[in-house]
């Protein structure tokens, strides 16, 4: 059994000032996930009549993107390609002292304790992260042929769970890796082509408007991404946007002719 000292950010609500509170986590099994360790601590807090530490979580199997906070200055903690729910206490040592704080970004205001509001991501998706195709019954498999490399790459982008770690780890609080993954996974597939230029233009415009920062190609986003989305996706989005920018006038001329 391990014992840990946790310095946790406590903030009552979005407007209240927050502060760090130190807790002792006793009887921590190394087989517990980080969230289970917090669950046990919360049980103890509830037993003492204190407010439990609020953190977001849902699937607890690393695929929903709900969980995530900073552990000792690292988004999702020290283990690569892992969400905080899949991080186990064996990654730490008995007697460790850990600082736990929420994602810090103007676009991600703190709701309570470790929970931030990531709806800025939803608004980026709403701006263009979809295809306008009639849905209905599932189409025949392979009715549209897609080169294997494109399908693989599109899937790599689609693996994004929108957890916000890229923004959290970025020294500029930029949302480029998230937006790039969403722009690219559709932009790489035939179904995404009709709206490709429009999509990247709208999503980047909303991204900028949501008060995320500006990318400096530092690569911290890639390093903390639990889905290992690569920096190349950002280059791909840059390329798409510059190309779409060049096409702006050509399109308005065509529209005028129609």
Partner 1 sequence: MNASAVMMLWGTSIGKKAVMAVTGFILVGFVIGHMLGNLKIYQGEEKFNAYAAWLREVGSPAFGHEQFLWLARLILLMATALHIVAAAQLTQMSYDARPVSYAQKKAIQATYASRTMRWGGVIITLFVVYHILHFTFGAVGFTPGQYKHLSVYRNVVIGFSVWYVAAFYIAAMVALGLHMYHGVWSMFQTLGLNTENAGRPYQALATVSSIVVVLGNISVPTAVLAGLLK
Contacting residues toward partner 1, per CB under 8 A: 7, 9, 20, 70, 72-74, 99, 101, 104-107, 153, 169, 171-174, 201, 204-205, 207-208, 211-220, 222-224, 230-232, 234-242, 245-249, 252
Residue 224 CB, nearest approach to partner 1 (Å): 7
Residue 241 CB, nearest approach to partner 1 (Å): 5
Considering only CA atoms, which of 160, 156, 138, 245 is closest in space to residue 196? 245
Residue 172 CB, nearest approach to partner 1 (Å): 4
Residue 60 CB, nearest approach to partner 1 (Å): 24
Are the beta carbons of 186 and 131 closer than 8 angstroms?
A: yes
Measured from the CB atom, the residue of 41 and 176 that comes closer to partner 1 is: 176
Phi, psi for residue 207 in degrees, rounded to 5: -55, -50
- Which segments of 135-215 does DSSP mark as H helices, in order? 148-158, 165-169, 176-187, 196-209
Measured from the CB atom, the residue of 110 and 161 that comes closer to partner 1 is: 110
Which stretch of DSSP H or E encloses residue 235?
Answer: helix 232-257
DSSP label at 206? Answer: H
Measured from the CB atom, the residue of 89 and 169 that comes closer to partner 1 is: 169
Residue 26: CB atoms within 10 Å? 12
Measured from the CB atom, the residue of 40 and 74 that comes closer to partner 1 is: 74
Measured from the CB atom, the residue of 56 and 210 that comes closer to partner 1 is: 210
Residues in the chain: 258
Task: Count CA atoms within 13 Å of residue 123 on its CB side.
Answer: 16
Q: Is 22 helix (H, G, I), strand (E, B) or coil?
A: strand
Residue 213 CB, nearest approach to partner 1 (Å): 3
């Amino acid at each position: 059994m391990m014992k840990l000292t946790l310095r946790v950010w406590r903030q009552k609500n979005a407007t209240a000032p927050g502060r760090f509170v130190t807790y002792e986590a006793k009887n921590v099994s190394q087989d517990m996930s980080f969230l289970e360790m917090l669950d046990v601590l919360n049980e103890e807090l509830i037993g003492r009549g204190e407010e439990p530490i609020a953190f977001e979580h849902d699937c607890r199997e690393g695929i929903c993107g709900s969980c995530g906070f900073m552990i000792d200055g690292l988004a999702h903690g020290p283990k690569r390609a892992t969400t905080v729910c899949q991080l186990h206490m064996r990654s730490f040592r008995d007697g460790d002292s850990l600082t736990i704080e929420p994602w810090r970004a103007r676009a991600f205001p703190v709701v309570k304790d470790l929970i931030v509001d990531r709806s800025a991501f939803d608004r980026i998706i709403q701006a263009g992260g979809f295809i306008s195709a009639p849905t209905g019954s599932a189409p025949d498999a392979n009715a549209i042929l897609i080169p294997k490399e494109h399908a693989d790459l599109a899937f790599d982008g689609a693996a994004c769970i929108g957890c916000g770690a890229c923004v959290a780890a970025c020294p500029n609080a930029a949302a480029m890796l998230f937006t790039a993954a969403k722009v690219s996974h559709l932009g790489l597939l035939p179904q995404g082509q009709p709206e490709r230029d429009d999509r990247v233009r709208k999503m980047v415009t909303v991204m900028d408007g949501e008060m995320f920062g500006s990318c400096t190609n530092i690569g911290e986003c890639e390093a903390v991404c639990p889905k290992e989305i690569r920096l190349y996706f950002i280059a791909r989005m840059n390329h798409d946007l510059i190309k779409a920018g060049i096409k702006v006038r050509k399109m308005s001329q065509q529209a005028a002719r129609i």
